Amino acid sequence: MANDDYKGILVYIERRRDGTVAPVGPELLGKGRGLADKLGAELAAAAFGPGAAELSAELFAMGADNVYVVEHDLLKDFRPRPYAKALAQLAREAKPTVILAGATTQGRDLAAAAATYLKTGLSADCVGLEVDDAGLLKQTRVSCGGRVMSDWVTPEARPQFATVRPKVMKALEPDRSRAGETTHFNVDLTPDDDVGEVLSFLEAKETVNLGEADIIVSGGRGLGNPEGFELVRELAACLDAAVGASRAAVDAGWIEYAHQVGQTGRTVSPKLYVACGISGAVQHLAGMGTADVIVAINKDEEAPIFKIATYGIVGDLYEVVPALIEEIKNRRG
Amino acid sequence: MHAVVCIKQVPDTQELQVDFDAGVIKRASVPLIVNPFDEFAIEEAVRLKEKHGGAVTALTMGPLSADEALRTALAMGCDAAVHLLDEAFEGSDTWATATVLAKALEKMGEYDVLFFGKATFDGDTGQVAPRVAALLQLPMLNFAAKIAEIDFDGKKVTVERLLETGREVVRANLPAVISVVKEINEPRYPSLLGIRRAKKVDVPTWDAAALALEKDSVGSKGSFAKLERIYRPPARAGGEIVPGEPVDAAKTVTEKLIDQGLI
Ligand SMILES: Cc1cc2nc3c(=O)[nH]c(=O)nc-3n(C[C@H](O)[C@H](O)[C@H](O)COP(=O)(O)OP(=O)(O)OC[C@H]3O[C@@H](n4cnc5c(N)ncnc54)[C@H](O)[C@@H]3O)c2cc1C
Ligand SMILES: Nc1ncnc2c1ncn2[C@@H]1O[C@H](COP(=O)(O)O)[C@@H](O)[C@H]1O
């Protein structure tokens, strides 16, 4: 089939466990709107699972022209196989030239399987996307632990498929006056596709959704002991931030692995990253080097973290962090 | 029990040298290691064998040097290894890599569980495991932090998957594909005995023909994703040390963050 038959942009809308729209979907609609306008094509959103139809209005407001609602008994919980098969079926029918999904655990699982069913390429965890006049999507990635940027294209296969790092793209201001078309798409799934049964979900004790957090306060070996995280949590609490950690702190057993930022932990792009007692090893920078603003607190003025910190404070974190907390509280009244 | 661990040899990213003018990563001068996430995969497979009996096979697609990665896996306790080696495999994207691995796994035949790392350190796509699962029509259990239960007779496995907001406990039929995160275990160091034993193992190499793969269906020709260019990440503005006593600096920074509407 000729590539010219493929038009428009399709954004997979990830939903949280409570059914609400995860922020990465609107972010991708924001980016997708720009790409679709450049191509003079439609921007579609795909929402799966029970109650998906009720999300239409919100998705139109965030930029979608068209919402595909996909409901099926096998699409109640997110499972990679039925979801990926459903997305592949939708793509064969709707023929978007570009599909975007969030580079979340769900998006990565789904996109890799769907791209395989569709026999197409996939760029993972993109931080930049552009289309040229011919409709070719340039997919920008960071790899090798943040040391290398690369641009990728999918010259022949369609759709062009990418997962995109959360918080890198900007959602549009919601415009409730926008309207669009809702299409119910019927998928063909069989019980054979029902692999894997979710037995339970163990909610994390504290916010560990580092990917969605606007602000992250992280602690490293410089805390000196596990109690140090109490101070980190106190600062995080007054900034409404999530708590992160270096691998050294995790390996010391001071905090759970789910909090680890870096090459063997999570990759994050918050608006503000506060590093307390973290030296700034390349493997740590790989996970947070794309934060908008970095504040580093370290008693060693030679620490590598200062090379990339927007604001570096040289000093004992046990002096600096309490001072920050006090100042923030004073300023905010 | 037969477990297969898919591993990749990668350049040590810490030592990585990139020739940005030529737009290439200088492989020759960089130490090569087993992808760190894959060490967790090897360890988990070897632990299963130690508990349940059976055998573990390490599988890699890579150039001649990748033999060293297989030897490391053998030294850590794998029983056998297969090296997928052919110039035609060079330049494979995740689709082509998964195609080659899936063919090799079909050729291998009997297995109960396939282990992968969460992602590679160089490419960092995390796609190969779910693509292999899709090609082989097997359940995919991504981001496993714990194998809670595994029953080889009843052909069931229960794992805890580490997601953004917590852990999902999920059960699937065997054979299944499992990718692992760092939390799952603490990989062992190869013992001297293991290293000696590993040297003696005969590692078969399979090329495209052995896998009945057309040369054009793999490698850069068989890949959908094409690299256009590599370049240096934009330099971060920064490196400003805020002057003054620590406590004063803290005040200054707070003011700046408030002015910028960040907090
Ligand atoms: C394969 C591999 C993967 C890795 N993956 C990761 C990863 O995902 N994430 C990660 O973070 N690391 C990772 N690492 C480890 C990384 O190389 C570093 O060892 C680690 O990041 C160091 O953590 P840290 O900065 O907390 O500790 P350190 O490097 O020990 O730094 C502690 C810092 O605290 C400062 N300090 C001490 N006391 C105080 C005080 N009272 N006040 C202020 N400052 C103080 C010190 O000056 C020092 O700079 C990986 C390493 C390898 C080999
Ligand atoms: N060439 C390869 N040979 C064998 N296994 C591989 C290869 N490339 C990737 N893998 C496996 O797939 C996982 C994810 O790799 P990637 O999708 O490249 O991030 C790795 O951790 C390995 O377990």
**pTM of structure:** 0.94
pLDDT of A1 > 60? The answer is no
Q: What is the CATH number of domain A3-193?
A: 3.40.50.620
Percent pLDDT > 70 in chain A is 99
pLDDT of B172 > 60? The answer is yes
Local confidence band at B30 (pLDDT 50, 70, 90 cut-offs): confident
pLDDT at A103: 97
CA B10 / ligand 2 centre spacing (Å): 10
Tell me the backbone φ, ψ of residue A100, rounded to 5 degrees: -125, 140
| Mean pLDDT, residues B179-195 | 96
A89 close to A198: Cβ distance less than 8 angstroms: no
Q: Pocket of ligand 1, candidates A298, A314, A317, A324: which has the most ligand atoms within 8 Å of its Cβ, to mutate?
A: A298
Question: Is A212 near chain B, with CB under 8 Å?
Answer: yes
Write the residue in B163, B172, B231 that is nearest to A105 by C-beta. Answer: B163
User: Which A positions 262-291 lie with beta carbon below 8 A of chain B?
Assistant: 263-265, 271-272, 282-283, 286, 289
How distant is the Cα of A197 from the closest Cα of chain B, in angstroms?
A: 5
pLDDT at A2: 67
Domain count, chain B: 1
Structure confidence by residue, pLDDT tens digits, A179-228: 999 999 999 999 888 778 899 999 888 777 899 999 999 999 999 999 99
Local confidence band at B18 (pLDDT 50, 70, 90 cut-offs): confident
In a domain, B13, yes or no: yes
Averaged pLDDT of chain A: 95
Structure confidence by residue, pLDDT tens digits, B233-250: 888 877 789 999 999 999
pLDDT of B27 > 90? The answer is no
In a domain, B102, yes or no: yes
In a domain, B261, yes or no: no
Question: Is A176 near chain B, with CB under 8 Å?
Answer: no
CA B212 / ligand 2 centre spacing (Å): 21
CA A268 / ligand 1 centre spacing (Å): 17
B212 close to B103: Cβ distance less than 8 angstroms: yes
Q: Which residue has tokens 């503000």? A: A272
Local confidence band at A90 (pLDDT 50, 70, 90 cut-offs): very high
How far is residue A286's CA from residue A267's CA, in Å, rounded to a whole number? 7
Containing domain of residue B62, as a range?
2-217
Residue that wins the pLDDT comparison between B28 and B85? B85
Averaged pLDDT of chain B: 95
Where are the domains positioned within chain A?
3-193, 210-331
Local confidence band at A178 (pLDDT 50, 70, 90 cut-offs): very high
Helices (runs of H) and strands (runs of E) counted in chain B: 6, 14
How many of the other CB atoms lie within 10 Å of CB of B200? 7
Q: What is the CATH number of domain A210-331?
A: 3.40.50.1220
What is the number of the ligand closest to the CA of A251?
Answer: 1
Q: Which residue has tokens 């275990």? A: B185
Local confidence band at B37 (pLDDT 50, 70, 90 cut-offs): very high
pLDDT of A333 > 70? The answer is no
How far is residue B174's CA from residue B151's CA, in Å, rounded to a whole number? 9
Contacts of B138 in chain A (CB under 8 A): 195
How far is residue B56's CA from residue B250's CA, in Å, rounded to a whole number? 55
Local confidence band at B115 (pLDDT 50, 70, 90 cut-offs): very high
ipTM at complex level: 0.94
What is the number of the ligand closest to the CA of A223?
Answer: 1
The enclosing domain of B114 has a CATH number of 3.40.50.620
**Residue whose C-alpha is closest to residue A48's, from A99, A18, A86, A10:** A86
How far is residue A26's CA from residue A202's CA, in Å, rounded to a whole number? 27
Residue that wins the pLDDT comparison between B25 and A160? A160
